[in-house]
């Protein structure tokens, strides 16, 4: 029984599907290198955290086939990149370009942090000014009464 279970586990592990194996081969080594570089440069639109080369999604396979066709047609890496960006927006780039259009994404956390620091400094300054203006002595009887009212014993006496 133990042997049959071990054999079933081994067969199940061996039967798992092959992931992201691209069976296409380019005619030359140079085209093959360009193809591999391009498929690692773009993000899978479905998976979002994987490159086209690592994704086994159907749409990733279609984009890889499109890249292959464009390479075989003699298009440059820049033309392929421009085509994919025009079709899928800059979201498809694993490393998006820094531009004025997306600068707010890079600058927003810094600006929000500065606003938070300025607000915190103003609040702390305003509260410290209130303490400095308070010249009235602290009434010890009020402090003792507030402690008596909050104790469990005084609540039970009521």
Residue finishing a domain among 57, 92, 127: 92
In a domain, 4, yes or no: no
In a domain, 64, yes or no: yes
**Is the pTM of the predicted complex or chain greater than 0.75?**
no
pLDDT at res. 138: 62
In a domain, 135, yes or no: yes
pLDDT digits (tens, 9 = 90+) for 110-132: 999 999 999 999 999 988 888 77
Residue finishing a domain among 71, 92, 113: 92
Q: How far apart are CA 20 and CA 56, in angstroms?
A: 5
Q: How far apart are CA 41 and CA 131, in angstroms?
A: 59
CA dihedral 115, 117, 122, 126 (to 10 degrees): 140
My answer on whether 76 and 121 are in the same domain is no
In a domain, 132, yes or no: yes
Residuewise pLDDT in 10s, the chain (158 residues) = 777 777 777 766 665 554 444 556 778 888 888 998 999 999 988 887 888 888 888 888 899 999 999 999 999 999 999 999 999 888 888 887 777 777 787 788 999 999 999 999 999 998 888 877 776 666 666 666 666 655 555 555 54
Neighbours of 28 (CB within 10 A): 8
CATH number of the domain bearing residue 24: 1.10.8.640
Residues spanned by the domain of 125: 103-157
């Amino acid at each position: 029984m133990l042997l049959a279970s071990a054999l079933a586990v081994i067969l199940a592990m061996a039967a798992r599907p092959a992931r992201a194996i691209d069976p296409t081969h380019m005619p030359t080594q140079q085209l093959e290198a360009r193809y591999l570089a391009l498929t690692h440069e773009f993000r899978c639109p479905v998976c979002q955290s994987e490159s086209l080369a690592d994704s086994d999604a159907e749409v990733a396979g279609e984009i890889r086939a499109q890249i292959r066709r464009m390479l075989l047609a003699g298009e440059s890496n820049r033309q392929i990149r421009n085509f994919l960006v025009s079709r899928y927006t800059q979201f498809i780039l694993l490393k998006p370009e820094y531009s004025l259009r997306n600068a707010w994404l890079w600058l927003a956390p810094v600006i929000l942090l500065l606003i938070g620091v300025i607000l915190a400094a103003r609040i702390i300054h305003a509260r410290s000014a209130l303490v400095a203006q308070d010249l009235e002595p602290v009434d010890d009887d009020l402090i003792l009464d507030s402690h008596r009212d909050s104790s469990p014993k005084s609540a039970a006496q009521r």
